[in-house]
Structure 1
């Protein structure tokens, strides 16, 4: 494996890497955590931000400024400066849809740089279409989409194999999947979950406000409060009520998150009152910075009963482990890989209908009868969490403080040894180095048409005009008084393509040259003014459109 090429440019959009938005989503928490972990722990000497506008590069610089004790120099790479990608050698995109970036790369060379995506949600039509693009787009062997759990990798392989089989049946040939699908988990910055000194005041105030006694037990849930999209609360409420009936300890359920609508809030609040009346249900806004920082130190047991196909990894169990809490989670997707049953916490049995049962749900989503949220919510309603098993898990930890302490310590150790970005970032860098080695072994090819379905418009519609302008096409000045170029560049009828044109001074020099020559070819102008012939053809088109020059008829 190469010792170099261990850096990457970060494809940066503010929405993907910050947690200050009102709609706080898991992918944003993961994105911000990754960026902080990468800047803090990567063995690199520079940061590369790939984004389209300078304002976004400025936001990137502001965000990463305090992520490292000694700030790294940063550089801006845009889709219009792909040649700069030679330095980082890889472009990291926080999502699976790298096909559009592979099409961009064809403006340079196949082997110019690698692409590295990452899975998040997999069940939306957009995500599945992104998977399809990994086969039909120009994605290469030196590109990768990181799978954050074995579960999500199995989902990707299932979808890609089905898609390849379909394409093979249509084309009569075997379709090859080139993209790498390495298995690398998400991480966290464990030091952010250590109990700070000022947490004591928060915890004391919180417990006094909500009348939480010294011997009471606090069950904590952190995350978006949405029955259709994250974890349906009914099994949690039912299991806690069953546990409450078998213990003398007072149970408090703290749900730290946010509601998208008043209707959803009412659903949760009334549901808790109806299905776990023996439990003190507390709802708090988990977007408040102080709450996000300190709420982890209020809980005795962390719980997350994910039953939604939108979940693929689940970062909150690891955050709870880093804070020293035992975890009660569903035996579901990535949870079963992060939480070791009986060691860091307890996993709860889940069941769902067998393949073939859900085709009506998929079809309704496909044709638009059900929108995405309704689709995943309906799937959740057919997915069962064993409430008796869950109640037994809750009760076991509620009744045994020493077990809570032991599991919390094991979880904290595991979080630091396996899921801290200080441990994971070198593994990500190993992947990027491996992709660089694969790229070095690849072969370039002449790319005739970079993007076949979005080709040069003057090629796709070359049969439209009377005559095509080519380097040998001859030009002359237009008759009458010569207008200045600025006469048109300053007018909205002429300045719509100014960003594609040379400076006003160069254009005036071109007109002076044509005036001196009377008649000259586009190729002559390009040579004298050190311009590429194909660019000069373009500029001549604009000058002719403004009636500053005449395109002479082709004698052939």
Structure 2
């Protein structure tokens, strides 16, 4: 992979870590599934012949390229994949937009500012908000008000629920800044709503393929043809994903009603992955205790086979989410794309994707009023309780109408025609509203609109590019802590042989190599210019008077000469003749 030489797309995708867009690891989070879906869709539907990746390391960019190569396998003219190092972030201006798989718009905005070759109006930065209740995420969002973020930057919100939360957080932060400093936050990013999507073609199978999946999985689970199978898909985490007890209780009530009416047998498939041993032990006991009338089956939802096929073996999908960590919810849309009716809670983004009585049923929820959870957030903020404890406690006080859920399960179990009708309507909704094929153009339109805002913007004056102004909270450590040492290395400093430097030329190269091999210096070996250091040592050892640091003959091509001189002093190979006599040794 090489750095790009010409523009071929309107977006550079940032890869902050190898697993940013991958679901192949041992743990699988919703953000990873959403990001992987977006990346594959971008490769498939953007129509570009070259894809740029902004990454810290080449290895991260290679992960990006491998995903693209898998999408484009068999193409007669496969596209190219280009790595743009973060040190060259100014080159995003050749394309127009940097897209991030998370909400760290402020961090990348500072990266843009501190690069002397980058202009504030050179390109847009667009982040994606997944979960929004984690404190570091909220800090990242609030930081946009004090970072060099502008109206041609954006923080995408996948749902109205997310947009409302982010807007409220920014309003509260702006009010505090005004109260405390008198500042008015005039520059804010756009907060567009662009939903996450699914690959409808991969889920909406033809009748023969669907029947094959259905037969395979139902035989694998030992289900009878008449059994009505309710599917839950997702991370089995009772504290930070969803408390599954309300669903189990409602299914038990429905099973009892169906038994009285001589209806079909209910089965529950929990296709997921346990977040911990505690979750596994607790949930396996819970299904036996809370819904003994329902046969519960656990399936590893991380395998590609399960993620592709279990939808078609089920009759109903259900997710009674009650946790503030949820923002959008991909699994109900995946279920709809596969033609399943859904039973979900009327909570967060679920209420926007599922239409009550059309695609399925939305179960009523209740939450305490504002002011009732101050002790919860205070304990979490003060590190008295962890994130898992915080969100699980907040979830515990969210009411769910279990009777309504039980009635929904019962009605769907007794009415195959209703299941078919709702499934068909949900499939159509997924196709028209949430298919990546239709959503990728909306992302591209957003990037183009931000470009128009940049072009219409007045030139932003960034002020002098001084050390402290680059990023006041991420300053050069030798600026922030300049008062720590006895003296500062400077170009007029002079050097003489150190106490450990050999007078014999043949030994000096061995000495230098030995110093570099000390374990504590392994992390800086690549940044040390060894030929230049050896030349400096030779010059210092052979001159009758101290050698100036600024001597061009000693500088070679080193970018950070003073740092290397500091290391030589630390190694005892040279000694500084400082401007302050009290620090000189005789």
In structure 1, what is the equivalent of residue 82 of structure 2? 75
Aligned partner of 1:443 in structure 2 is 460
User: What is the count of residue pairs matched by the alignment?
Assistant: 551
SS in 1 for 2:235: coil
Task: Please say which of residues 314-323 and 210-219 is displaced more in the overlay.
Answer: 210-219
Counterparts of residues 341-490 of structure 1 (less than 5 Å): 341-440=356-455, 441=457, 442-445=459-462, 446-448=464-466, 449=468, 450-464=470-484, 468-471=488-491, 480-481=503-504, 484=508, 487-490=511-514
Q: Which of 1 and 2 has higher RCO (CA within 8 Å, sep 6+)? A: 1
1:229 matched to 2:240? yes
Q: Which moved more, 1:141-150 or 1:545-554?
A: 545-554
Say whether the 8 Å CA contact 2:532–2:554 is kept in structure 1.
no
- Secondary structure at the counterpart of residue 16 of structure 1: coil
1:122 is matched with which residue: 127, 132, 139? Answer: 132
Measured after TM superposition, the shift of residue 150 of structure 1 is 0.6
Partners of 1:319 and 1:81 lie apart in 2 by 38
Structure 2: distance between partners of 1:74 and 1:66: 12
User: Is 1:340–2:355 an aligned residue pair?
Assistant: yes
Q: Quote how far apart the aligned CAs of 1:373 are.
A: 1.3
Cα distance in 2 for residues equivalent to 1:188 and 1:526: 62
Select 1:53's aligned residue among 38, 53, 57. Answer: 57
Aligned to 1:272: 287
1:517–1:501 distance in 2 versus 1, CA, 3 Å: farther
Residue 202 of structure 1 deviates from its aligned partner by 4.2
Residues 209, 542 of structure 1: CA spacing in aligned structure 2 closer, same or farther, 3 A cutoff? closer
User: What secondary structure sits across from 1:117 in the alignment?
Assistant: strand
Give 1:309's aligned residue.
324
Q: Is the 8 A contact 2:90 2:119 kept in 1?
A: no
Q: Distance in 2 between matches of 1:23 and 1:513?
A: 56
Q: In the alignment, is the contact (CA less than 8 A) between 1:11 and 1:91 conserved in 2?
A: no
- Determine whether 1:187 maps to 2:209: no
State the shift of 1:413 in Å: 1.6
- Quick check: 1:4–1:433 contact (8 Å CA) kept in 2? no
Q: What's the CA shift for 1:6?
A: 1.8
2:245 matches 1:238 = no
Unaligned runs of 5+ in 2: 1-6, 582-586
Contact 1:473 1:554 in 2 (8 A): yes
Separation in 2, partners of 1:55, 1:280: 46
Matched with 1:7 is: 11
Q: SS at 2:314's partner residue?
A: coil
Aligned with residue 90 of structure 1, among 97, 109, 118: 97
In the TM superposition, residue 208 of structure 1 has moved relative to its aligned partner by: 3.2
Give yes or no for contact 1:286–1:292 (8 Å, CA) kept in 2. Answer: yes
Q: 2:24 aligns to what?
A: 20
Q: Is the counterpart of residue 100 in structure 1 residue 124 in structure 2?
A: no
Rounded to whole Å, the distance in 1 between the matches of 2:187 and 2:366 is 32
Equivalent of residue 259 in structure 1, options 274, 281, 306: 274
Change (3 A) 1:120 1:520: same
SS at match of 1:14: coil
1:404 positional shift:
1.8
Query: C-alpha separation between the residues in 2 aligned to 1:368 and 1:310?
Result: 18
The change in CA–CA distance for 1:517 and 1:540 in structure 2 (over 3 A counts) is: farther
Cα distance between partner residues in 2 of 1:157 and 1:213: 50
Structure 1 residue 518 displacement after superposition: 7.8
Which of 500, 506, 517 is 2:527 aligned to? 500
Q: 1:481: Cα distance to partner?
A: 4.7
Aligned 8 A contact 2:232 2:271 in 1: yes
Indicate if the aligned counterparts of 1:36 and 1:64 stay in contact, CA closer than 8 A. Answer: yes
3-state SS in 2 of match to 1:15: coil
Q: For residue 555 of structure 1, report the CA deviation from its aligned partner.
A: 11
Moved more, 435-444 or 325-334: 435-444
**Cα gap change, 1:370/1:499 in structure 2, threshold over 3 Å: closer, same or farther?**
same
By how many angstroms is 1:315 displaced?
0.1
**Any stretches of 5+ residues in structure 1 without a counterpart?**
none
Distance verdict in 2 for CA 1:489–1:439, change over 3 Å: farther
Corresponding residue to 2:305 among 274, 277, 290: 290
Q: Provide the C-alpha distance between the structure 1 equivalents of 2:10 and 2:295, rounded to a whole number of angstroms.
A: 51
Which secondary structure state, in structure 1, belongs to the residue aligned with residue 125 of structure 2?
Answer: strand
Of 59-68 and 202-211, more deviation after overlay is shown by 202-211
In structure 1, how many angstroms separate the alpha carbons of the residues matched to 2:556 and 2:270? 69
Q: Which moved more, 1:290-299 or 1:201-210?
A: 201-210
Residue 164 of structure 2: aligned partner: 154
The residue aligned with 2:45 is 41
> Matched residues in 2 for 1:437 and 1:116: separation?
15
| Residues 177 and 486 of structure 1, relative CA distance in 2, 3 Å threshold | farther
Structure 1 residue 266: Cα displacement:
3.6
